[in-house]
Chain A
Amino acid sequence: MRALVRIVSWFYAVAIYGFIFLPVVVLVLFSLQATSFPIPPFTGPSLRWYDAVLADTRLTSALVNSLLVAALSSAAAVTLGFLSAWGFARFALPGSALLRGLITLPLTVSYLIIGMGLLVLFNWAGIPKSLLAAGIGHVVINLPLCFAIIYSQMGDHQINIERAARDLGAPEWKVLLLITVPVMAPAIFAGFFLSMTFSWDEFVISFLLTRFDTTLPVEIWNLLRSGLNPKTNAVGSLVFAVSIVLVVFFELMLLRRKPA
C-alpha cells in the first residue's frame, strides 16, 4: 500500500513538473531557432535572436526601467508597510482593525481595476503618464502585501526585546533602527522580494500608465503584437535568466541571515 502510494506520487509529481516546465522548455529551445518561426521543426541552434534582442535599445532600456521601477517601488512599499505594521502592532489605535483592513484592501482588487482607477484619476488631475505613475501603482499593489507579511511576523518576543532596549534608555528611533529592523529583517526581506517579483512581472498597470519609457512586460507585449518571431523567445529566456540570478541573489541574502 505504502509502496503503491509512493509510485503514484512519483508519477503524479513528474507529470505536474512536466506540465509546469513544458512551456518554458519550448520557450528556451525555440529562442535558439535559426529561422523566423518559433515552432517545430527545430532549425537551430543559433544565437541570432539574442543578438537582435541585445541590439534593440527599446528592449534593453525597458529592462533597465523594469529593474528600476521594481527596486524603487518595492523599497517604498516595504518602508510604508513596515512603518505602518510597526505602528499597528505596537500601539492601540482607535479603529485599528478597520484601518488595517483599509491598508490590505487593494489585495482583493484586480490589477486591471487598480490601473483603470489610477488612469482615470491621473487623467483627471492632468498628471502625465510616466514610469513614476506606474511605480505609484506598483506601490499600491505591493504595500498591502508588505504590510501583511511584516505585521503577521511581529510577535511578542520582539516586543520584549524592544522594551528591554527602551528600559535601558534607548530613544525610539534607536529602538527602531537597531532593534526592530534587524529583528524583522527576514520579514522585511520577504516583503521586498515578493514586491520585486510582482512589480517586475506586472503588465496591465504599466501598460495603462506609461508613455515612452516603459517596462519590459509592456515592451514585450509591443514586440508580440508586431509579429511572431523567436526574438520574443529570446527576450523571454533572457528575462528568465535575469530572474534566476535575482532569486539566487536573494536566496543567498536570506540564507545568510537565517542562522541569526
Chain B
Amino acid sequence: MNSATNSGRALPRAGSALPRAGRALPWALVTPALGWTLLFFVLPFVAMGFSSLTAHDGGGFTLANYSQFFTNQAYWQAMVNSLQVTAIVTVISVLLAYPFAWILAEQVPERWQRLALMLAVLPFWTSYVVRSYSWLLVLAQNGVINRALTGSGLFSEPLQLANTRLATVIGFVHFFVMLLTLTIFANLKQLSPSYRKAAADLGAGPVRTFLHVVLPLTLPGIMVGAFLTFVLCIGDYITPQILGGNNELLMPQLVMMQIGRRGDFPLASALSIILMAVVTIAYLACARWLKIERA
C-alpha cells in the first residue's frame, strides 16, 4: 500500500521495453507469487467458506452458524462492540497523530527528523504481546498512573483504568498513533513546498493554506492510515484480551473462543467470514485512496 497516488504513470508497453522477450518469461516471473496467493490465501477462504456451512458435530450443509450470529444477541453484540472500539480508536489516533506528524515535518529541523521518527518508532520494537501487557502494568489499580495520581493528591481513590474498554482503546491508540504518524508524515513530506508558496503568494494566511491546501492534499495519507488502522484494529485479539478484562467481547475474542474452548471450527469460520465482510465494506469505502501506483 503506497500513498503515492498523485503521480501514477502508465505501464510501459511491452514492445518498447523488451523487444526480445518471449511469452513465457513474464508468466514465469509472476506465477510463483500468484500461485502462492491462490494456494495459501484464496483457497483457505474457499475452505473456510465450506467449513462455515457445516455443523460442528456432523450433519449436512447448514446455515446454523450464521443464524447463530444473527439471532444470538451476545454474538452480534461482539460485532457492535468491535465496530465501536475500532471507530473510536481510528478517530482518536488520527486526531493525535496528525499534529504530531505535522510538528515532525514542519517544526523539527530537517537533519533531526530522521532521528525524531526513529525515536517515535523505537518503542514498537518491543514485542506486541508484551506491549499490551505493559499497559496493564501501567494502568493497574496499583500501577504507575494510579500511584502517581493518588500520590500527588489529585485523586483520593485510584481510578478504574485497567480491565475496561478505555484500557483497550488506550492500548490500540498507542500503536496506531505511531502508524498514522508515519503515513501522514510521509504524505506531508511529499507535498511540494511550491504549493504552499503559491497559496501564500495568492494571499492565503497559514491557517487558510493549511485548511485549503495542505489538509486536502494529505487526505490520501490519512485515509490509507485510517484504513490500515481499521483492518488491524478490528482483527486484533491480543489487546482486548489482555486489557479489556473480558467485561465485553470483541469479534476476534469470540472467534478465538470457538477455537480455544470448543474446537468449533465451522462456527469460527462463519464468524471470520462475517468479520471479513465488514472489512470488505470498509475497503470499498476507502478504495479510491488505496491504489498502488508506481512512482
Min Cβ gap A209→B in Å is: 11
The interface stretch among B21-29, B60-68, B73-81, B193-201 is B21-29
- State which residues 1-32 of B face A: CB under 8 Å: 1-2, 4, 9, 11-14, 17-18, 20-21, 25-30, 32
A172 in contact with B34 (CB, 8 Å): no
Contact A208:B259 (CB < 8 A) given known A106-B37, A120-B48, A163-B17 = yes
Contact A116:B178 (CB < 8 A) given known A83-B30, A224-B129 = no
- State which residues 147-175 of A face B: CB under 8 Å: 147-149, 151-156, 159, 163, 166, 172
The listed residue (A81, A113, A145) touching B272 by CB distance below 8 A is: A113
A140 in contact with B294 (CB, 8 Å): no
Residue A35 CB within 8 A of the other chain: no
Contact A27:B134 (CB < 8 A) given known A83-B30, A240-B126 = yes
B120 neighbours in A (Cβ, 8 Å): 16-17, 20
Contact A105:B130 (CB < 8 A) given known A39-B142, A172-B21 = no
Residue B245 CB within 8 A of the other chain: no
The listed residue (A87, A147, A217) touching B128 by CB distance below 8 A is: A217
Residue B204 CB within 8 A of the other chain: no
A116 in contact with B48 (CB, 8 Å): yes
Q: Give the nearest-CB partner of A116 in chain B.
A: B272
Residue B214 CB within 8 A of the other chain: no
Q: Give the nearest-CB partner of A245 in chain B.
A: B125
The listed residue (B12, B48, B119) touching A159 by CB distance below 8 A is: B12
The listed residue (A118, A140, A221, A224) touching B36 by CB distance below 8 A is: A140
A236 in contact with B37 (CB, 8 Å): no
Contact A39:B131 (CB < 8 A) given known A99-B34, A116-B268 = no
Contact A239:B126 (CB < 8 A) given known A105-B41, A136-B40, A148-B292 = yes
The listed residue (A103, A118, A143, A204) touching B237 by CB distance below 8 A is: A204
- State which residues 105-135 of B face A: CB under 8 Å: 107-108, 118-120, 122-123, 125-131, 133-135
B30 neighbours in A (Cβ, 8 Å): 83-84, 87-88, 93, 99
Cβ contacts A to B, 21 pairs, < 8 Å: A12-B100, A26-B134, A39-B142, A89-B11, A91-B26, A107-B1, A108-B227, A108-B280, A113-B276, A116-B268, A117-B47, A120-B44, A148-B2, A152-B295, A155-B294, A156-B9, A163-B17, A172-B21, A224-B133, A233-B137, A237-B126
Please give 20 more A-B residue pairs, beta carbons under 8 A apart, in addition to A24-B123, A87-B25, A106-B41.
Answer: A13-B107, A23-B137, A30-B137, A40-B147, A87-B29, A90-B26, A91-B14, A109-B276, A112-B235, A116-B259, A121-B40, A121-B43, A143-B36, A152-B4, A152-B293, A156-B12, A203-B238, A236-B131, A236-B133, A240-B125
Instruction: For the complex of A and B, list the 3 residue pairs with the smallest distance between their C-beta atoms, beginning with the closest.
Output: A110-B235, A117-B44, A87-B29
Could you list which residues of chain A lie within 8 angstroms of chain B, going by C-beta atoms? Answer: 5-6, 9, 12-13, 16-17, 19-24, 26-27, 30, 38-40, 80-81, 83-84, 86-93, 96, 99-100, 102-114, 116-121, 123-124, 136-137, 139-140, 143-145, 147-149, 151-156, 159, 163, 166, 172, 201, 203-204, 208, 216-217, 220-221, 224, 232-233, 235-237, 239-240, 243-244, 247
